[in-house]
Amino acid sequence: MAQEDRPPVRSSSSQQARGPRLQQILAHAWSEWRVELFIALVVAVAVFLLVEQMQIRETVLSWLRQGLEALRNFGGGILRGLVDFIESTTLSDLTGYALLLAALVFVGWRARWRLMTTPRFTERQCPRCCGDLRRIHRHRLDRLVNVFVPVGRYRCRNRDCRWQGLRIRKAEHE
């Protein structure tokens, strides 16, 4: 058989190199995305608790009913509607709602952190011409955005470009 007809021989060292490379990829993915994976797990548990068919223990139900009776005696129409809603839900539903709310808070926090640490949004160069930026007065909507993410309004110093927009202040200790 000629040299050209032989199939390529794989060395055992190339097969062994795949193992550490995969571990490096997984380690990097875990270090980069562990918060998002945790949020996905919380959402999965919340959805499970909302759709599962298990019964709640009677003692917990009796405590909830007694507490809801006290709330019913305390409130008016809005409070009564809330109590009716709570009475119609199970403990697993309430836990699922709480976990979904917590997951939404985590998603918002993580999105804010990503925005504040992404060089594309935090660098002080014009996104069009890479020129220097000059800080200018913010608009009303900019102040509303600033409640959630610290921003400043900038304009490009290049007279030909004159780009204007928001830049995010970098995160220091988040």
Confidence class of residue 155 from pLDDT cuts 50, 70 and 90? Answer: very high
User: Does a structural domain hold residue 41?
Assistant: yes
- Pair (106, 168) in one structural domain: no
Tens of pLDDT, residue by residue over 42-60, are 888 777 777 766 654 555 5
Q: Are 99 and 42 in contact (CB under 8 A)?
A: yes
- Pair (104, 45) in one structural domain: yes
> Looking at the predicted structure, is the pLDDT value of residue 101 above 80?
yes
DSSP string, 102-126: HHHHHHHHHHHHHHHH-HHHH-SB-
The domain total for the chain is 2
pLDDT of residue 77: 63
Tens of pLDDT, residue by residue over 2-49, are 555 555 555 555 455 566 888 888 888 888 888 888 999 888 877 777
User: Does a structural domain hold residue 2?
Assistant: no
Q: Are 42 and 103 in contact (CB under 8 A)?
A: yes
Question: Tokens for 45?
Answer: 């548990």
Q: Are 146 and 170 in contact (CB under 8 A)?
A: no
User: Does a structural domain hold residue 161?
Assistant: yes
> Looking at the predicted structure, is the pLDDT value of residue 102 above 90?
yes
Distances (CA, A) of 150 to 71, 78, 99, 104, 137: 40, 36, 27, 20, 14
User: Does a structural domain hold residue 69?
Assistant: yes
pLDDT of residue 104: 94
Range of the domain at 165: 123-174
Question: Average per-residue pLDDT in the chain?
Answer: 78
- Pair (153, 173) in one structural domain: yes
Q: Are 117 and 170 in contact (CB under 8 A)?
A: yes
- Pair (104, 130) in one structural domain: no
- Pair (148, 100) in one structural domain: no
- Pair (65, 136) in one structural domain: no
DSSP 165: E
- Pair (21, 104) in one structural domain: yes
User: Does a structural domain hold residue 4?
Assistant: no
- Pair (24, 97) in one structural domain: yes
Pick the last residue of a domain from 80, 99, 117: 117
- Pair (130, 157) in one structural domain: yes
Angle subtended at Cα 16 by Cα 15 and Cα 18, rounded to the nearest 5 degrees: 70
Beta bridge partners of 156: 133
User: Does a structural domain hold residue 172?
Assistant: yes
Confidence class of residue 95 from pLDDT cuts 50, 70 and 90? Answer: confident
Distances (CA, A) of 49 to 62, 152, 157: 20, 42, 55
- Pair (137, 165) in one structural domain: yes
- Pair (109, 174) in one structural domain: no
Amino acid at 154: Y
